[in-house]
Amino acid sequence: MNGNIPNILVYHTSEADKYADFLRERGVASVQTASTPEEAMERLPGTDCIMAWRFPTELLSRPEAAAVRWIQSIGAGIEDLMSDPAIPRHIAITRIVDQFGGLIAEYVFAYLLLIGKELPRMMKAQSERRWSPFRVDALQGKVIGVAGLGSIGSEIVRKARAFDMTVYGLSFSGARSSLVDRHFDGAQWLAFVKELDYLVLTLPLTEQTRHAVDRRILHAMKPEASLVNVGRGPLVSEPDLIEAMTEGRLRAAVLDVFDREPLAPDHSFWGLPNVYVTPHLSGQSKFDAVGQFFMDNLRLFAAGEPLRGIVNRERGY
């Protein structure tokens, strides 16, 4: 470290220079960039901290990375970092927190309303120049279940209140159970889902949550219920969901995340009835906000104070 100014490496396959410029414009001089593992390897010696999207974690155990003390992920999910237990324990891992709630909740309600108000039916009638009124259903009075009550889940709950919905929540810690009308824990999935009109997944991916929504859960849901996954693809068993949607067991499934991204062109989800596929865009980080989050953490790091968004490796998020 050069006095109190840490040496920074920004790693991103396409936007490394953009983030580096953001930092330099704010007076941070000691910034290098890398967009490939080879470039990263070359620039690691002397690097104190890394700001990265999908960093090649195997490099962190090498002697070139001896000075690294902190890696800031550009995103809320950090399972790429969690999946590598070889990352030395003295390297702190932080993720972006409290920035995605509003955007993801907007995405969720955009689709809840699209489905609940039957906008595709309205658009089809218009394309046929057909005036055919029908009784439109309401969100008010319906039951939404939010699995995961972190900053994203909490924001969904807040908007659900404005729509006068009944709100159920499932979380492992139970810390925010007072936000919801009924709270369930990780052992109560069946009881949680059976009365829901909308099930929204915002959980982190851990060994406890992988494939939490499988055939058993899908079969327990009401046929008029819809599923929205804005968490991580593997929260849901893809084969079980494909089977359920093919059999018409749910009203709709809205999927922004998948086992493998990008979703392969021949994947069944693209063409299944009542399945809405979007390309992992519900909670994009806003460039400026991410830059500012890192700047704030950098100040804490230089001062030797606790960082924001620190990841608990035992918990997995």
Stretch that binds a copy of itself, among 15-23, 36-44, 65-73, 159-167 (CB under 8 A): 159-167
Q: How many CB atoms lie within 10 A of CB 54?
A: 13
CB 224 within 8 A of CB 245: no
Closer to a copy of itself at the Cβ: 19 or 189? Answer: 19
Tell me which of 129, 207, 223, 288 binds a copy of itself, using CB under 8 A: 129
Q: Contact between 13 and a copy of itself (CB under 8 A)?
A: no
For a copy of itself, which stretch binds (CB under 8 A), given 23-31, 125-133, 231-239, 243-251? 125-133
For a copy of itself, give the closer residue by CB, 93 or 160: 160
H or E element, residue 308: none
CB of 87 to a copy of itself, least distance (A): 27
State yes or no: residue 75 binds a copy of itself (CB under 8 A). no
Residue 65 contacts residue 86 (beta carbons within 8 Å): no
- Secondary structure element (H or E) that encloses residue 159, with its range: helix 151-162
Say how many Å lie between the first and final Cα of the chain, rounded: 28
Token representation of residue 191 = 């009881």
Q: How far apart are CA 255 and CA 234, in angstroms?
A: 11
Binding mask 247-286 for a copy of itself (x = CB under 8 A): --------------xxx-xx---xx----xxxxxxx-x--
Scan for tokens 């029908």, then name that residue. Answer: 134
Query: Residue 106 Cβ, how far from a copy of itself at the closest point, in Å?
Result: 6
Q: With CB under 8 A as the rule, give the number of residues binding a copy of itself.
A: 47
- We find the least distance from the C-beta atom of residue 265 to a copy of itself, in angstroms, to be 5
Contacts of 173 (CB under 8 A, 6+ apart): none
113 contacts a copy of itself (rule: CB under 8 A) = yes
Rounded to an integer, what distance in angstroms lies between the CA atom of residue 145 and that of residue 196? 6
Q: Minimum distance between the CB of residue 290 and a copy of itself, rounded to whole angstroms?
A: 13
| Tokens, residue 150 | 């972190």
Q: Does 86 bind a copy of itself (CB under 8 A)?
A: no
Distance CA 207, CA 186 (A): 12
For the record, the structure tokens of 285 come out as 């980080």
Which residue ranges make up the site for a copy of itself (CB under 8 A)? 102-103, 106-107, 109-111, 113-114, 116-117, 119, 122-123, 125-126, 129, 131-136, 138-140, 158-159, 161-164, 261-263, 265-266, 270-271, 276-282, 284
